C-alpha cells in the first residue's frame, strides 16, 4: 500500500474516532484527526465517492456557553464529534495574530473598538461572548496558541482577514504545522501562498468552471485543493463538480448563511438533512454538534 493511501485510511479511522483495530473510542473522548505531515493533510482531503460527508466548524463552531474563534469551543466540539475548524486570523496593534472574525470586538466581547487598535496585552482584559451574547470566562486566543493546541487533534483552516499574505506565510512557515491550511478566494492568492510554501493546502473558492480553470492555469495542484463551491450544490454546476471529483478534489458547501439561520435546532437539522443528499463532500456549519445523529453516509 502506498504512503498516501495509507495516510488516507489512517485519517478516515481517526475521523470516526476509532483505532485501526476498530475498538470504540471511550465515552466522551475527543474525536481527534491526527495529521503528522503535509502528505497526510493532502491525502485526508482526497475525494472518495464512498467516504462519509465531513463536517467543518465555521468560525470554530458554536455551542451555548462557548464562543466562536475560541480554543475551548474547539475542544468542546471534539468531545462530541470529529470536525476541522475554519478560523479567522487578524492582527493586533503590536502585530500579534489573534482569532477574531469581525474588525471590531464589539459583537463577540465585553469590549469595544477595532482589533488593530489594541495590543495583545490590552485585548486580554476582555472576555468573549457566546452566540447568544452571554459573557464567558474565555479570552481571545492567539493563532499560535490555537495551532499549538491543535497538533494531533484537528485541522485548522485559516480564513485570513487583515493579515498580509506574506506575513501570514512567514508565520506559518516558522511554526511549520502539518495540520494548517489556507482559505483563498482566487487563484492569485493561492499562487502567492504556494510560491512561499510549496506544500500548502487550500480551501479554494471555486464556484464555476472558469474559476476552476484559473486555479489550473496558475499551477495549483489538485492534490492540494478542497473546493468551496457555494452555499449549496446547484444542478447547473454539475459539470464543475464532476471535473473536481475526477481530479480527486472534494466539494465543500457552507450552510452558515442558510440553514444555520433557521429559528430552532430541529429546523436547522431538517435543513442540514436536505444538503446531506445533495452530493456535497464537506459541509461547513456554525453548529457542528447539531450533526450528531444525522446520517453522513453516502447513498
Q: Where residue 30 falls among pLDDT bands split at 50, 70, 90?
A: low
Reply yes or no on whether the pLDDT at 202 is more than 50: yes
Q: Which of 30-34, 206-210, 277-281 has the lowest mean pLDDT?
A: 30-34
Give the tens place of pLDDT for each residue, 106-141.
999 999 999 999 999 999 999 999 999 999 999 999
Over residues 60-86, the pLDDT tens digits come to 999 999 999 999 999 999 999 999 999
- Read off the pLDDT of each residue in 173-200 and give the average, rounded to a whole number: 97
Query: Mean pLDDT across the stretch 190-197?
Result: 97
Whole-number pLDDT of residue 198:
97
Three cell numbers, residue 200:
500548502
Domain map (residue ranges) of the chain? 3-18+29-66+74-86+154-291
In the predicted structure, residue 6 carries a pLDDT above the cut 80: no
Topology of the domain covering 3-18+29-66+74-86+154-291? TIM Barrel (3.20.20)
Q: How many CB atoms lie within 10 A of CB 88?
A: 22
**Residue 141 backbone phi and psi in degrees, to 5:** -85, 155
Place of cell 470504540: 24
Residue 192 to residue 196: CA distance in whole angstroms? 7
What mean pLDDT is predicted for residues 193-214?
98
Sole residue written with cell 447547473: 236
**What average pLDDT does the structure give for the chain?**
91
Q: How confident is the model at residue 23 (pLDDT cuts 50, 70, 90)?
A: very low
Amino acid at each position: 500500500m502506498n504512503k498516501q493511501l495509507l495516510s488516507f485510511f489512517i485519517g478516515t479511522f481517526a475521523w470516526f474516532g476509532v483505532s485501526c483495530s476498530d475498538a470504540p473510542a471511550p465515552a466522551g473522548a475527543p474525536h481527534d484527526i491526527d495529521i503528522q505531515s503535509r502528505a497526510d493533510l493532502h491525502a485526508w482531503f482526497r475525494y472518495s465517492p464512498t467516504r462519509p460527508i465531513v463536517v467543518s466548524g465555521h468560525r470554530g463552531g458554536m455551542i451555548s456557553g462557548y464562543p466562536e474563534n475560541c480554543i475551548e469551543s474547539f475542544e468542546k466540539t471534539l468531545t462530541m464529534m470529529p470536525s476541522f475548524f475554519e478560523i479567522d486570523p487578524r492582527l493586533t496593534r503590536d502585530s500579534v495574530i489573534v482569532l477574531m472574525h469581525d474588525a471590531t470586538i464589539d459583537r463577540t466581547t465585553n469590549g469595544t473598538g477595532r482589533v488593530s487598535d489594541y495590543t495583545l496585552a490590552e485585548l486580554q482584559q476582555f472576555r468573549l461572548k457566546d452566540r447568544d451574547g452571554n459573557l464567558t470566562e474565555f479570552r481571545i486566543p492567539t493563532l499560535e496558541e490555537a495551532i499549538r493546541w491543535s497538533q494531533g487533534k484537528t485541522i485548522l483552516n485559516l480564513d485570513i482577514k487583515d493579515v498580509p499574505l506574506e506575513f501570514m506565510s512567514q508565520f506559518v512557515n516558522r511554526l511549520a504545522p502539518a495540520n494548517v491550511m489556507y482559505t483563498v478566494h482566487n487563484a492569485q492568492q493561492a499562487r502567492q501562498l504556494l510560491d512561499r510554501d510549496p506544500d500548502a493546502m487550500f480551501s479554494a473558492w471555486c464556484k464555476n468552471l472558469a474559476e476552476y480553470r484559473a486555479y489550473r492555469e496558475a499551477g495549483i495542484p489538485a492534490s492540494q485543493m478542497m473546493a468551496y463551491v457555494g452555499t449549496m450544490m446547484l444542478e447547473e454546476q454539475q459539470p464543475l463538480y464532476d471535473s473536481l471529483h475526477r481530479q480527486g478534489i472534494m466539494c465543500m458547501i457552507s450552510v452558515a448563511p442558510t440553514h444555520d439561520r433557521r429559528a430552532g435546532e430541529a429546523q436547522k437539522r431538517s435543513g442540514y438533512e436536505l444538503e446531506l443528499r445533495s452530493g456535497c463532500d464537506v459541509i461547513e456549519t456554525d453548529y457542528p454538534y447539531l450533526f450528531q445523529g444525522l446520517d453522513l453516509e453516502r447513498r
